[in-house]
Every structure is written in C-alpha cells, then in structure tokens.
Chain A
Amino acid sequence: MANISNKDIATAIYEASHGKAGHDLSVYSKAVVEFLNKKRLISKSKDIVDTLEKIVNKEEGIVTVKVSSATKLATETKHNLAHELKHRYKARDIVWQEIVDENLLGGMRIEVNDEVIDLTLKNKVNLLKAHLTKSV
C-alpha cells in the first residue's frame, strides 16, 4: 500500500470538516485527534496541522505574508503592499507576520509561501560583493 502523506490526511480532515461549526466542529476535532492517535500519527500532528493551515488558507484565499525589515513598516507602505500582494496572489485577505531585524540595514524582505522578494540593503550589499569578487 502506498504511503499516505501528511497532505492527504490534511486534505481529508479539511474536506470532512465542511459545513461543521460550533458543537459539531468541536466533536469532529476530538474525533480527528482520536483517529490520529489510533493510527499513531500524533507525532506527525504538527506537520499535519501546518499543512491543514496551508490548505485552509489556499481555499479561503488567505495569504500569509512574512515581512522582515530594519524598521517598523509605515501604515501607508503596508497598505500599498497589501494592495499589490492581493493583486499578485489573487488573495482575499492577508495575514501579516512582521519581523523587525536591524541586521537587514534597510529595505524589506517579503516572503509569501515559498516565494521571496528580497529588497533589503543587506541582500544588495551581498550581491555587490559577489559581483565585485566575480569581476576580479
């Protein structure tokens, strides 16, 4: 028998949860945990939940955006960014994860799923370093 992947399990959990809310959902969640325990999948539960989150986000049009910058983002920048990202990823809603890291020197780095747009000064300096050493 072929191995069942975490993605298969997460998809099944998501599809079976359709139309469930309130008490039903809580009963359902308990049943899922019992099932995972019975099938000895509890150790994989973190990965399954992560995958489930990705599936839910994809289905509901939610995009998680991780923005790293040297200083806190201005509201206007964030607003413009949200507009652009919603358009690019055809998203309905955006969940922000903001990280302030002074080591980035300036600019920002945007991570959506496995796509990265790195506009930080640190990255530019690194690229310049590679360019200059390559030219020698």
Chain B
Amino acid sequence: MSNHIVESLKKEIENFTVAVKAEKVGRAIEVFDGIAKVSGLSDIKSSEMVTFQNGEIGVALNLEEDTVGVIILGDFSKIKEGDEVKATGKILEIPVGDSIIGRVVNPLGAPLDGKGAIKTEKTYPIERVAPGVVTRQSVDQPVATGIKAIDVIIPVGRGQRELIIGDRQTGKTALAIDAILNQKGQNMICVYVSIGQKDSKLRKIEARLEEGGAMAYTVIVSAGASEPAALSYIAPYSGVSIAEYFMDQGKDVLIIYDDLSKHAVAYREISLLLRRPPGREAYPGDVFYLHSRLLERACRRNEKYGGGSITAFPIIETQAGDISAYIPTNVISITDGQIFLETDLFYKGIRPAVNVGSSVSRVGSSAQIKAMKKVAGTLKLDLAQYRELEAFSQFGSDLDESTKKQLERGKRSVEVLKQLQYAPVKTEHQVVLFYALTKGFMDDVPVEKIKEFEKGLIDYSERNAKTFYKEVKESKMWTDKGEEELKKVIADFRKSFN
C-alpha cells in the first residue's frame, strides 16, 4: 500500500512540468470591505480573474487609469496591502459536469455539503453571451409546476422567464420549491440559486428536496448571507453556467434565482464601494443590464443547435407590495410574465396566494397541453369577473340568478385553486378537476366540501376513466371519446358524493 503511494507520488512528480511564462503581476494598494485596489496589471480585461498571494480569487471590475478595482471572492481579511496579485488571463469560470447534480456548491463550485470535491475536468465561464436569435425556438412545451393556479391560469413553458414576485412571507420560495419537487420524472434538471439567504433556510430547503427525492436532479448554488457581497453578485451567473452545461447536452433545465432583489442589493454594495456613481435608489446605472444579461441566457434552443432549454424563475421580494420600485419594474419588463403573490390573499387562507388577476404569462396557452387548454378556457376571465362581482355583492343582496350563479362558481374556483405546500398535483388530475369545475359538476357541492370532493374525484376517476388518463398522459391528446368517458365518470361520482 505504502509502496503504491510512493510510486504514484513519483509518477505525479515526474509528470509535473512548469512552463516558463511571463505573468502580469500587480500589488494591492488598498483593501477594504471585500474590494482591493490594485496597481500594475496593465493588460487586464474586464471581468478577468485574478489570484491573490494567499490563494483567494478576485474579479477585476473597475479598470481605471492607474489602478484596477477588484472584488474579492472569499475571505478578504487575510489580504494585506502590498500583496502580490496575479492576472490569470481567464474570465472567471466554475467546474461543471454531471457529478455536480445532487450537490450544494458555492458560486465558485466549491462544495458546501461536505461530500468532497466535485470530480470534473470541465469548466464553464460564468459570463457568457446569451444564445442568438438563430439558435432559438419559440416556447411551446409546458413546464408542469404541479401548482394548479400556475399550470391552468398562468402556464409556463420550457425556455420561459417567469417572475415570482411578492412581499416577504407570501410563499415565493415555497412555490419555487414545489415546482422543483414536481419535476420528478419530467426530464428536467433543476438549479436552485440561493442569494443572500439564511443558512438555516437553505438547510431546510435542501432537507425538503432530499426528502422529496428531488436532489437526484437538482443542484443548489448558494451564496449565504454571511458571505461577501461579491459571491452573491456572481451566484446567479454561476447557476446559469451550470444550467447551460446541461442545456448544451440537449437537456431541459429549470433555474430558480432566490432572490434577485438581494442580488441587486449586493451589486449596489459592490458598485458603491468601487465608487461607481449611484443612480435611482442608489443602484448603479447598469443594474438593468445586470439582470437582463442574466435572464436573457434562459432560452429554448432549436433542434439544429441541440435542443435543450433553460426556464428561469427569478424571485423578487417587494416592500409593502410596492411593485413600482426600481428593481421590480426592471425585472417585470425583462421577464415573460409574472406570478404575483399577495399578503392579503395569504392571510385570507388562499394559498398559494397567487393574485390571478395581476399575474400573467406572455407565452400563454401555447405552453399548455391540448387537454389543459380545453379545460382552462375562460377560467382567468371568470375569476376576474367573480372578484369584481364579489366586491359589488357586498353592498346589497338583490342579485339576479345569473350573478348569484357566477358568485357561487367563483367561490368554488377559488377553493379548487387552493393547494397545500409540498403537494403538487399532476397535470392529468388538474385536467379532471378543472373539467368538473368548468362544466358545473361542483356547483352544488358545498364550498367547505370541495377539497373532499377533489380528493374523492381524483381517486374515483383514476379507477374508472382509464382511457381518458391513458390519452392525456401518453399522447397528451383530448378526444371526444375520452371526454365522454370523463364526463360520465364525474357525473357518477357526483351522484355518489354527499
């Protein structure tokens, strides 16, 4: 055994060669708050990686006349004035590979889960230009999130960027985690990027994903709240580079940025320390580009360029519901739609607290399977009308029959859209439920019994509507035969349900 070690060491030493090369070297002249001002480094490029004497990595962001402003990606307390700083000639890159699946890594690809180094040879630069127009294809494949309110009313397609926005404690992360949990068996790799979150929260999320078997297809990239702002700044770019690696292999990837408000705050901190001029809300002038270049990397590639897609769910936290603040408006304009979560709805017991009136998906029904399209129909409009009528109905009781009917239907729709956390609903079950709802089978079921009805209907239909399930599951088709069967099964179940 010991012989083997000596032999392998000898071999390693024999194979080791040092190339003679001239390196560009600078000296740290100022080090403060995760920033270093470095003299020298005359030919350095913007975003180039540099290494400090103690092994820490930095990225050159400000190229000034005499100095270079570098953000330090790691512990800056051990870097001293006068330390040597070497240019590497490379843009910052992270290790990527299939072995990264199931791991928790920091934005530099270093493991945080205590499972040892990521064994891979391949690296991807964290900054890349988004795929061009000719390589793209329109979004027409659904991402089944398992959340009824989203899949039916605000459908998300593979390659889409859908913003999740809401105040604190409205269930933004829960929604994203549910979406990840539902990707089991959906041929999707998930990347969860945690930016400036508490380590306890991350641990909880990891445990939940592990419990749901989701870590088998998920990568977590984390820049914790106690890490320097520079790591939070690069975290989403690292995450999307990992996603691009899988997309380049023709796979579909779902990436969650939790959250971009903290990312913008981290970038603001760095920019102010680098003495870049502050703009609105003290954010630097390029804060729009910060997010647009990130989200533009989410796309669906056409077959000629290997297929594959990156679907992005950026999360934005608003303050007291103010969506007209700088960062929310920026990200709303960049993304292909948004899911609004409201505190009022949350406390009313409507969970997920999705405000279906203000939420949109610009891709729309083209990202829905035919069966879903058929049942979703005018549900969004009906719900909007219900909300309006609900407001009016509070002023008087003299309502005509059709209005009363609409109100009753609305109440049931809201009830059906409610869903427990970590309980994603399969697409085919959603089709059954919304068919029963829109065809009026639930109209005479008491509202408080809707949940019971739902559960019973799913069990009953699974046993009795086999043709319908086969069609929807396998060929995603909606035929008259299947519909007839479903209708009959629902009617039978309604008769037996009390």
Contact = CB atoms under 8 A, between A and B. Distances in A.
Interface string A98-111: 00000000000001
Interface string B203-233: 0000000000000000000000000000000
B42 interface: yes
Interface string A106-136: 0000010111111100011001100110010
A128 B40 CA distance: 27
Interface stretch (B8-16, B343-351, B490-498): B8-16
Contacts of A119: 20
A7 interface: yes
Nearest to A112: B22
Interface residues of B, number: 18
B459 interface: no
Contacts of A113: 40, 42
Given A114-B25, A116-B23, A124 B18 contact: yes
A62 to B, nearest CB: 17
B9 A116 contact: no
Interface of A: 5-7, 51, 111, 113-119, 123-124, 127-128, 131-132, 135
B24 A114 contact: yes
A135 B40 contact: no
Interface string B17-37: 010111111100000000000
B41 interface: yes
Contact of B16 (A5, A7, A115, A128): A128
9 contacts: A114-B24, A114-B41, A115-B22, A115-B25, A116-B22, A117-B20, A117-B21, A119-B20, A132-B13
A114 B18 contact: no
Nearest to A119: B20
A65 B299 CA distance: 52
A135 B13 CA distance: 11
A132 B25 contact: no
A3 to B, nearest CB: 10
A7 B66 contact: yes
A7 to B, nearest CB: 6
Given A114-B25, A132-B9, A6 B18 contact: no
B22 A114 contact: no
B18 A127 contact: yes
A135 B9 CA distance: 10
Nearest to A110: B22
B464 to A, nearest CB: 61
A135 B12 CA distance: 9
Contacts of B9: 132
B448 interface: no
B65 interface: yes
Given A5-B65, A7-B66, A131 B12 contact: yes
B175 to A, nearest CB: 41
Contacts of A135: 12
B26 A114 contact: yes
Contacts of A124: 18
A123 B21 CA distance: 12
Interface in B415-469: none
Given A6-B66, A7-B66, A114-B42, A128 B25 contact: no
A115 B25 CA distance: 6
Contacts of A51: 66
B65 A118 contact: no
Given A5-B66, A116-B25, A127-B18, 18 more contacts: A5-B65, A6-B66, A7-B66, A51-B66, A111-B25, A113-B40, A114-B39, A114-B40, A114-B41, A115-B22, A117-B20, A117-B22, A123-B18, A124-B18, A128-B13, A128-B16, A132-B9, A132-B12
Nearest to A6: B66
Contacts of B21: 117
Contacts of A111: 25
A31 to B, nearest CB: 25
Interface in B34-83: 39-42, 65-66
A111 B23 CA distance: 10
